[in-house]
């Protein structure tokens, strides 16, 4: 198992931002992961770091990155995948087997663990529609399984967020369909992403804020003037106000200051407090910590 110290993480993050992390483990299977839990008493777990803002001042702790845990199997309509597998890869693999239910994943850059953790979804499909059970880990319980009902799914959330459970793998039950129909739906999803959202070639972490119930964060942000916001080397995307682009070597503080301006604009105009979808890893920069507390990204 690969282990790195003083690891420069910026190249792995979708924002292309981040300083040195004191120690990083890269497990390749569940056994590796359990070995880490026996060695380390305090660590944070991430997948592809697609929705994570890592502080430019680094992180003085232990991090586990699960991208090496990427095995999957397809048996009839039953699909099992480890947490580090990229969603688009699984989406394309099941499509070739004539299985429908994961077409939405083709447009998401994240990993299976993160998508189950946040109940990812789009275009009328979501993880909660097809999940059978998830294999999880926690310090108190070790390795255990949760059924779909026990995951307590709701919009962009699951019990794993509330209880700090780590997802190791997931089992899905998909439906047979014609490959041409599946591919057409995947193309539709990709076309929508390309027309409305920034290319993955532009450093960004996807939607910054969750949609409030019955409304769109993008609509609220645009109406409050968010598209005019820029700080340092980062700015709000010109075509969609719920995305931040880091195209001029912006820092994590630049991005957080933009997020706070976006949040405040909507709160002042509509009285709505948007909830960030972005996770934060850091703690060495006092200004960042203060903003994250105001945005309720950390306690």
Smallest CA-to-CA distance from 128 within 146, 144, 141, 143 is with 146
Strand partners, 25: 3, 64
Distance, in Å, from the CA atom of 164 to the CA atom of 204, rounded to the nearest integer, reads 25
The CB density around residue 247, as the number of other CB atoms within 10 Å, is 15
Residue 96 phi, psi dihedral angles, 5° rounding: -65, -25
Contact call for residues 262 and 221 (beta carbons, < 8 A): yes
- CA 2 from centre of chain: 23
Positions marked catalytic:
156, 207, 277
Buried b (16+ CB within 10 A) or exposed e, 261-299: bbbebbeeeeebebbbbbbbbbbebeebbebbeebebee
Query: Whole-angstrom distance between the N-terminal and C-terminal Cα of the chain?
Result: 33
Taking the C-alpha atoms of residue 2 and residue 153, their distance in angstroms, rounded to an integer, is 34
Question: Nearest Cα to 42, choosing from 169, 139, 165, 113?
Answer: 139
Q: Are 89 and 79 in contact (CB under 8 A)?
A: no
């Amino acid at each position: 198992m690969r282990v790195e110290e003083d690891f420069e993480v910026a190249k792995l993050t979708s924002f292309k931002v981040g300083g040195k992390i004191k120690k990083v483990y890269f497990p390749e299977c569940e056994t590796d992961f359990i070995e880490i839990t026996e060695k380390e008493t305090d660590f944070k777990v991430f997948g592809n770091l697609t929705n994570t803002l890592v502080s430019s001042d680094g992180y003085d702790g232990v991090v586990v990155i699960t991208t090496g845990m990427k095995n999957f199997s397809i048996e009839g309509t039953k699909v099992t995948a480890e947490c580090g597998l990229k969603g688009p890869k699984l989406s394309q693999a099941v499509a070739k087997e004539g299985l429908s239910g994961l077409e939405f994943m083709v447009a998401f850059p994240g990993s299976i663990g993160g998508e189950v953790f946040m109940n990812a979804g789009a275009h009328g499909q979501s993880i909660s529609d097809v999940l059978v059970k998830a294999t999880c880990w926690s310090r108190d319980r070790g390795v255990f399984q949760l059924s779909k009902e026990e995951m307590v799914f709701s919009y962009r959330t699951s019990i794993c967020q509330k209880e700090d459970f780590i997802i190791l793998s997931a089992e899905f039950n998909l439906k047979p369909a014609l490959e041409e129909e599946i591919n057409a739906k995947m193309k539709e999803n990709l076309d929508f992403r390309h027309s409305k959202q920034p290319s993955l070639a532009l450093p960004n972490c996807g939607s910054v804020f969750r949609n409030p119930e019955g409304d769109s964060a993008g609509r609220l942000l645009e109406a409050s003037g968010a598209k005019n916001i820029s700080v340092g080397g980062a700015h709000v995307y010109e075509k969609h106000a719920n995305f931040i682009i880091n195209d001029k070597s912006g820092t994590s503080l630049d991005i957080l200051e933009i997020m706070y301006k976006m949040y405040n604009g909507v709160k002042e105009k509509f009285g709505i407090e948007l909830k960030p979808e972005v996770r934060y890893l850091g703690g060495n920069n006092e200004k960042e910590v203060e903003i994250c507390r105001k945005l309720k990204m950390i306690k």
